[in-house]
A and B are shown apart, each in its own frame.
Chain A
Amino acid sequence: MKHISISILVFFFIQNVLQAQYVPVPAPPQSEPIAIVNATIHVGNGQLIEGGIVAFDKGKITIVSDGKDQPDLSGYQVIDVKGKHLYPGFIATNTPLGLVEIGAVRATVDYQEVGSFNPNVRALIAYNTDSEIIPTVRANGVLLVQTTPSGGRIPGMSSIMMTDGWNWEDAVLKADDGVHLNWPSPYSFGWRQFKVEKNKQYDKQVNALRAFFDEAYAYYQRPEVEEKNLRFEAMKPVFDGTRRLYIHAELAANIQEAVLFAEDYGITPVIVGATDAWVVADFLKAHRVPVILRTTFNLPRRPDEPIDLPFRTPAILYEKGVQFCFSQKGFWQQFNLPFVAGQAVAYGLPYEEAVRALTGATAEILGIADQTGTIEVGKDATLFLSQGDALDIRTNQVTHAFIQGRSVSLDNKHKMLYRKFKAKYEQLSQQ
């Protein structure tokens, strides 16, 4: 058994960084088996194991134990983490992370295509593994990301990406996991008076959507097609259930209408956003429709609502038995995803459920639970260690992260610049 102290490991990371560029070198495949002992393990399925052991080899978890059975760790490089918290890698959902580098610089923006029906457009193609943003997100425990296009009625397909890799091909965990659909809004925003009014185009927009789905469904059922239609090709796996349909809808009436619409085509959709999910929680549960919930860092939609409603919505959904996971707005903002969940804990969601809605539940909703999302034997060793509670800003200090067993760097542009200017002031103080 080899014991490596954490400080040496950290030192190793720093040495590993090329000073010339901020994006660290992607980690090589796991070369030797690793066992983490004496960890507070948040399994990601609601379970907590204190003083536990997790071991992994060739990128897969081989042992998960509460330590009582004293598993054989021979051949494993053992790291005693002394009570640190071990979590499955957090999964960011519904985000353009990787598709945009600088919000206001058009040349770096790749999340929105022209046209309104683009199911065939694939986010992973534009996923920039050399983005400076991604390592800052990874450094807070977000190890997987559902990179998602936006805009139009059907903006395209998301993919589940790892936050470390040389290019999109080796960074992808699940390509084209789902088609995204922006449900028309029944209300339009009167810009001038800041007034929300009935959207007069609503029926027309829904009809256009139905027409598209009718055509796509007919295409799917056709034994042979004369001329290939890329849009409809992209929809085929949606109809046969191998590709998710993510419907972005916020209002109660919309959510219900969207679910029934999808069910007409034999699809159980995932509702994304779902601000009003608390209103139709019973409906969602009855239809077994999961929700990717809009960030808790959100104002109540309506001025009369309880002031803390977005904070409380996760607890409400949990109590109602609706399956949900968290999301956070924006791209660079994903590094605050853990605290989106922490906020929900402050307002009534049990802690391990909050972890679950960042990991296990998320993986189930995204259709990757067979591979990742929880700390269970046979799953990817995609997990991280934090000095303290990773959902609280005060204590979130990620010390190690592994993606499929690869020990990924936690360095990033922020830390590099921090060191650089620390050095400036050291120089000044020496003068």
Chain B
Amino acid sequence: MKKLIGFVAALVGLLWAMPLSYAQKTFPFNGVSDPREGLHAFTHATIYTRYDRRLDDATLIIRKGKVEAVGVDIPIPKGAVIHDLQGKTIYPSFIDLYSDYGMPKKKRQDKSGMTHGRFNRRPQPLTTRKGAWAWNEALKVDFRAHTHFTPDESKSQSLHKAGFGAVLSHQMDGIARGTGVLVNLGKGRAHELIIKEKASNHFSFNKGSSTQSYPSSLMGAIALLRQTYYDARWYAATGRREEVNNSLEAWNEVQLLPQIFEVRDKWEALRAVRLGQEFGVRYIIKGAGDEYQRLEELKLTGAAFIVPLTFPDAYDVEDPLDAMQVTLAQMKHWEMAPLNPARLAQAGIPFALTAHGLKKPTDFLRNLRKAVQYGLSKEDALKAITWTPALLIKTTDKLGSLDVGKLANFIITSGDLFDSETKLYENWVQGQRFVLEELPKTDLTGNYKLKVDSQTWDLRVEGDPSKPKMHLQLDDSTKVVVKHRFERQLITLSYTPPDTKGKVRLSGVVEKNKWWGKGQLADGSWVIWEAVPEVSSDQPTEASSTTQEKKEQKDPLADIGQVWYPFNAYGWTERPTQKTYLIKNATVWTNEAQGILPHTDVLIRDGKIAEVGQGITAADAIEIDATGMHLTPGIIDEHTHIAITRGVNESTQASSAEVRVGDVINPEDINVYRQLSGGVTTAQQLHGSANPIGGQSSIIKFRWGYDDAGMKLEGADGFIKFALGENVKQSNWGDNFRSRFPQTRMGVEQIYVDYFTRARAYGELKRSGKPYRVDLELEALLEILEGKRFITCHSYRQSEINMLMKVAERFGFRVNTFTHILEGYKVADKMAAHGAGASTFSDWWAYKFEVYEAIPYNGALMHEQGVTVAYNSDDAEMARRLNQEAAKAIKYGRLSEEEALKLVTLNPAKLLHIDDRVGSIKVGKDADVVLWSDHPLSVYARAQMTFVDGIKFFDREEAAVLHTRAQKERNRLIQKMLLAKKHGARTQKPSGKMPHLYHCEDITDEIGGIE
């Protein structure tokens, strides 16, 4: 016989009880008070007291919202409401550390206003907030979530359904967002629901609702945080004597709390961690769910993560042309996102899971189970939603497990939480009961002897226990259907006995040993009836339907692609390594005294040029027959904006010397690989040209597949971008931009004089030994004055070129490089005398007024006057053809071919102070070389192989192989998505990601708006 699961329906009356019975309260009470003890005993349950501790047939006793006892065979105190949970499972309820539950509604910005809108609005240089607050509106560090928290019943209901009992809530607005409050998801006043007022302090790289212009870029946001850390230190030390700043006060107040930083992707995670390291702060990273793409780097950070379960829907790829819009990276992420939690666990990275980002909280459980199917152990899964979150916000004394004295936050399920069939019945929060789904009625299935009046029938109850079917079995083949209704232990049966007109109607109660009650026969006479279960025979089969479904689902891990580095079509599965190469019989353009050497061998070993000559042999080398081919030094692009994330300009102020492009390198930009295919091996990533004093540059080698730090050229000098002319005076920005100083070339000079005057004074203060506020902007300018940082200045007109040289001379330094410098040919003599180099376009002109006198002979004329001249790209497309750009110096100005090639190799190396390492083919220098199919200055030349540090990062034949591999991978994923769609998976319309191709003049706001 089927076990009757007894559930003693001890009526609690209300669904919830006041959690703290004899607590004194400040609020008046209307009517007669109704204190409740809240004493409940949950018996015969499987109880996970912690993610790693399971008790069978155990009892949980709670009182006044707390766990009073838990264990096997423990006494049940008298007066407890008993819940028999035979066959049910109790888990600690989940904790979500990333929520804005109960926070005030955010002001929605006009969407367009925050996007292209920079041109539609007047700039806002300073905060509009009233009071003695921080200068920047995105610093909302004084926000205290607990002073705003208001429970939201409808939201809490949906969170209950997902299994949550407590959340850490904060206002998701701003770069510094202030503190989060840990709350229970119960009913009642905020007063009673707050577990911890200041539980955390929050950050992001998004300025949110701030309408202030600064920062408009990711590097600006990083700089703002960096400066604020310094400001806060200064304020604590001496600054308070100089100004009252409520924001800095608030900042210092929350430094010891758990610091949580929201990022958009794996690279931002690394950026946040590094920022924290500068100031001894260990952030908990709220990740984006793509951590599996860079596990190694993230593990090294030692950071803990809060990761979402946002698994993208399959793309609808029925139409092959539509499918072309979807990138392989998107497809791979669709496949691999559910693996993320498992991979984090395997890597030993501590993490909590959050429902943040899911369309509805109930997707949480669905995706959690998916993550388990994808290899996350159940124990790790449970840990990530209970124990780890409690640990991360230092509340394991109250939450995260069901130990004595902790909050009575738990859920009751029908079984194993991670089984897709399992139901969540109840969610208890601090002793309050929330019914999600009625516990199943008593399972009636089985065989009974039904005695009615004098007759006895064989009553069969079969089928789904929640919707059983009943009939009377007269003999082997004859049945009489019995209709029934069963509610709250009361049962009604009706049937028409054979050979009878009219129905027999029975009503009664279901008890453990029998059903019984009164009934009326067809003739209207009242009788007593009973149904007694027969001694159990075979269990009816019930699982047949579910096993079938399971057969359909293959092991999801059976067919999963690999992570590629970078995570796109041309990524590696294994990092390419240094090898020994012997390039035989090439025409070698040395850029050294020996010039162009025909039929020459070059040996590359340990990342360096080991030998240049004829008849070289090396037993260990991979030989490359370069007969008919040309070998040149790798191309160096003095001016690029590729591989930069979220904004190339911090254009909102006349000076942004504090921002660093090196903070925002994007090593996965496909243009890095594309440019390797054009022979580019090194580039200077410049800040844009929107302000007279721009940001600090970064010099990278094109080490495709490395992380951002790994791409930086080690030990390179610091550079900074300056700019002159139309961009900095906002000539072409529209009528809203007429207020920022400077608006003329006259003003530009004054900006420089003023900043360098202040930087000099700053330096004096610094040297004096007195306490001072670290000013990152002036630090950068001071470095220039001290000859430790070098200027690359965007420039066009001769007047301003001359001006900057004069300013520099006044302050005792030299302008290192003028970039663009399209009128350099007019003042080449002065540049040579000053010692400035030039990095120019070969032939660009006429795109704005200040380039109307630009000529393609510019480079040649400057070269003739003794200026070190380079040709640069400033353009992701043209950068692949810089060798052709160099050839334009032959066409326009008749430079020798050797000198022409130097324009894109040795000369930019000189301008970047890296000519001791790269720029020529010389023994001992870095093996950054390109093998060309043809004369390297010809339009017909193709880079066949490109080496950086002796590593072959590009090989044209291999590129074709990679492409074929990517096509195969795409096709595999497309077929998989089609299958998923067929099996009913949700789909989304195809959409594609476009890389942002930056130019100098890009000044869009990339970090504003509420998401």
Do they bind each other?
A: yes
Listed in ascending order, the chain A residues whose CB lies under 8 Å from chain B are 101-105, 132-133, 187, 189-198, 251-253, 279, 297-300, 302-304, 306-308, 331-332, 335-336, 339, 342-343, 345-347, 391-394, 396-397, 413-415, 417-418, 421-422, 424-425, 428
With a cutoff of 8 Å between Cβ atoms, the chain A residues found around residue B762 in the complex are none
Q: Is B608 at the interface (CB under 8 A from chain A)?
A: no
Judge whether B115 and A417 touch: CB under 8 Å.
no
Judge whether A307 and B568 touch: CB under 8 Å.
no
Judge whether B847 and A299 touch: CB under 8 Å.
no
With a cutoff of 8 Å between Cβ atoms, the chain A residues found around residue B855 in the complex are 413-414, 417-418
Kindly specify which of B534-542, B805-813, B887-895, B921-929 makes contact with the partner chain.
B887-895
B108 CB to closest chain A CB (Å) equals: 14
Docked pose: A258 CA to B847 CA in angstroms = 32
With a cutoff of 8 Å between Cβ atoms, the chain B residues found around residue A415 in the complex are 857
Identify the 4 closest CB pairs spanning chains A and B, nearest first.
Answer: A104-B848, A342-B939, A103-B847, A304-B569
Given known A102-B847, A346-B941, contact A297–B861 (CB-CB < 8 A): no
With a cutoff of 8 Å between Cβ atoms, the chain A residues found around residue B865 in the complex are 425
Judge whether B569 and A394 touch: CB under 8 Å.
no
Judge whether A304 and B989 touch: CB under 8 Å.
no
B396 CB to closest chain A CB (Å) equals: 38
Judge whether A198 and B829 touch: CB under 8 Å.
no
**Count of A-B contacts with CB under 8 A?**
165
Docked pose: A190 CA to B996 CA in angstroms = 12
Judge whether B1009 and A104 touch: CB under 8 Å.
no
Judge whether B845 and A332 touch: CB under 8 Å.
yes
Judge whether B891 and A252 touch: CB under 8 Å.
no
Given known A103-B846, A306-B963, A428-B829, contact A394–B990 (CB-CB < 8 A): no
Judge whether B677 and A308 touch: CB under 8 Å.
yes
With a cutoff of 8 Å between Cβ atoms, the chain A residues found around residue B849 in the complex are 102, 104-105
B315 CB to closest chain A CB (Å) equals: 12
With a cutoff of 8 Å between Cβ atoms, the chain A residues found around residue B329 in the complex are 303
Partner of B853, one of A195, A297, A392, A417: A417
Judge whether B677 and A425 touch: CB under 8 Å.
no
User: Would you list 21 pairs from A and B whose C-beta atoms are within 8 A, ordered by A residue?
Assistant: A193-B993, A194-B994, A194-B995, A195-B994, A196-B992, A198-B990, A198-B991, A297-B878, A297-B881, A299-B674, A302-B325, A304-B967, A306-B963, A332-B846, A392-B940, A393-B891, A394-B891, A394-B897, A414-B855, A421-B825, A421-B861
Judge whether B991 and A394 touch: CB under 8 Å.
no
Given known A104-B849, A105-B849, A198-B989, contact A414–B994 (CB-CB < 8 A): no
Q: Is B876 at the interface (CB under 8 A from chain A)?
A: yes
With a cutoff of 8 Å between Cβ atoms, the chain B residues found around residue A336 in the complex are 843
Given known A102-B852, A299-B674, A428-B829, contact A253–B887 (CB-CB < 8 A): no
Judge whether B857 and A414 touch: CB under 8 Å.
yes
Chain B residues 545-589 with CB under 8 Å of chain A are 568-570
With a cutoff of 8 Å between Cβ atoms, the chain A residues found around residue B864 in the complex are 425
Given contacts A307-B677, A414-B855, A425-B829, 8 further A-B contacts (CB under 8 A): A195-B991, A195-B993, A297-B881, A299-B876, A299-B997, A342-B939, A421-B825, A425-B864
Judge whether A307 and B321 touch: CB under 8 Å.
no
Given known A102-B852, A303-B327, A418-B861, contact A335–B843 (CB-CB < 8 A): yes
With a cutoff of 8 Å between Cβ atoms, the chain A residues found around residue B853 in the complex are 413, 417
Given known A104-B732, A104-B847, A393-B884, contact A345–B989 (CB-CB < 8 A): no
With a cutoff of 8 Å between Cβ atoms, the chain B residues found around residue A345 in the complex are 939-940
With a cutoff of 8 Å between Cβ atoms, the chain A residues found around residue B888 in the complex are 393
Docked pose: A69 CA to B846 CA in angstroms = 48
Q: Is B480 at the interface (CB under 8 A from chain A)?
A: no
Annotate B586-598 by CB proximity to A: 1 below 8 A, 0 otherwise: 0000000000000
Given known A192-B115, A393-B887, A418-B861, contact A303–B856 (CB-CB < 8 A): no
What's the tally of chain B residues with a CB closer than 8 Å to chain A? 75
Partner of A192, one of B325, B960, B1009: B1009
Docked pose: A393 CA to B897 CA in angstroms = 12
Judge whether A252 and B940 touch: CB under 8 Å.
no
With a cutoff of 8 Å between Cβ atoms, the chain B residues found around residue A133 in the complex are 846
Q: Is B938 at the interface (CB under 8 A from chain A)?
A: yes
With a cutoff of 8 Å between Cβ atoms, the chain B residues found around residue A391 in the complex are 939
Given known A194-B995, A425-B864, contact A252–B321 (CB-CB < 8 A): yes
Docked pose: A78 CA to B691 CA in angstroms = 59
Judge whether A196 and B857 touch: CB under 8 Å.
no
B889 nearest CB neighbor, chain A only: A393
With a cutoff of 8 Å between Cβ atoms, the chain A residues found around residue B960 in the complex are 306
Judge whether A393 and B939 touch: CB under 8 Å.
yes
With a cutoff of 8 Å between Cβ atoms, the chain A residues found around residue B993 in the complex are 193-196, 303
Partner of A191, one of B115, B328, B570, B967: B115
Partner of A197, one of B887, B970, B989: B989
With a cutoff of 8 Å between Cβ atoms, the chain B residues found around residue A306 in the complex are 959-960, 963
Docked pose: A279 CA to B569 CA in angstroms = 19
Docked pose: A104 CA to B999 CA in angstroms = 15
Judge whether B935 and A394 touch: CB under 8 Å.
yes
Judge whether A103 and B848 touch: CB under 8 Å.
yes
With a cutoff of 8 Å between Cβ atoms, the chain A residues found around residue B881 in the complex are 297, 343
Annotate B307-327 by CB proximity to A: 1 below 8 A, 0 otherwise: 000000000000001101101
B860 CB to closest chain A CB (Å) equals: 8
Q: Is B729 at the interface (CB under 8 A from chain A)?
A: no
A92 CB to closest chain B CB (Å) equals: 15
Docked pose: A418 CA to B993 CA in angstroms = 45
With a cutoff of 8 Å between Cβ atoms, the chain B residues found around residue A343 in the complex are 881, 939
Q: Is B826 at the interface (CB under 8 A from chain A)?
A: yes
Residue from A133, A304, A336 with most neighbouring chain B CB atoms (10 Å): A304
Chain B residues 824-871 with CB under 8 Å of chain A are 825-826, 828-829, 843-849, 852-853, 855-857, 861, 864-865
Docked pose: A194 CA to B264 CA in angstroms = 14
Judge whether B848 and A396 touch: CB under 8 Å.
no
A112 CB to closest chain B CB (Å) equals: 16
A294 CB to closest chain B CB (Å) equals: 12
B675 nearest CB neighbor, chain A only: A307
Q: Is B637 at the interface (CB under 8 A from chain A)?
A: no
With a cutoff of 8 Å between Cβ atoms, the chain B residues found around residue A197 in the complex are 989, 991
A427 CB to closest chain B CB (Å) equals: 10
With a cutoff of 8 Å between Cβ atoms, the chain B residues found around residue A104 in the complex are 726, 731-732, 847-849
Q: Is B673 at the interface (CB under 8 A from chain A)?
A: yes
A346 nearest CB neighbor, chain B only: B940
Given known A304-B970, A332-B846, A414-B857, contact A194–B568 (CB-CB < 8 A): no
Docked pose: A342 CA to B938 CA in angstroms = 9
With a cutoff of 8 Å between Cβ atoms, the chain B residues found around residue A192 in the complex are 115, 1009
A370 CB to closest chain B CB (Å) equals: 32
Given known A308-B677, A394-B891, A418-B861, contact A342–B995 (CB-CB < 8 A): no
B357 CB to closest chain A CB (Å) equals: 14
With a cutoff of 8 Å between Cβ atoms, the chain A residues found around residue B939 in the complex are 339, 342-343, 345-346, 391-394
A306 nearest CB neighbor, chain B only: B963
With a cutoff of 8 Å between Cβ atoms, the chain B residues found around residue A189 in the complex are 994
B668 nearest CB neighbor, chain A only: A303
With a cutoff of 8 Å between Cβ atoms, the chain B residues found around residue A346 in the complex are 934, 939-942
Docked pose: A396 CA to B856 CA in angstroms = 14
Docked pose: A189 CA to B115 CA in angstroms = 13
A183 CB to closest chain B CB (Å) equals: 15
Docked pose: A346 CA to B934 CA in angstroms = 10
B331 CB to closest chain A CB (Å) equals: 9
Q: Is B914 at the interface (CB under 8 A from chain A)?
A: no
A293 CB to closest chain B CB (Å) equals: 16
Docked pose: A336 CA to B887 CA in angstroms = 12
Given known A196-B325, A393-B887, contact A303–B569 (CB-CB < 8 A): yes
Chain B residues 935-972 with CB under 8 Å of chain A are 935, 937-942, 959-960, 963, 966-967, 970
Judge whether A194 and B996 touch: CB under 8 Å.
yes
Annotate B979-1002 by CB proximity to A: 1 below 8 A, 0 otherwise: 000000000011111111100000
With a cutoff of 8 Å between Cβ atoms, the chain B residues found around residue A422 in the complex are 861
B801 CB to closest chain A CB (Å) equals: 14
B960 nearest CB neighbor, chain A only: A306
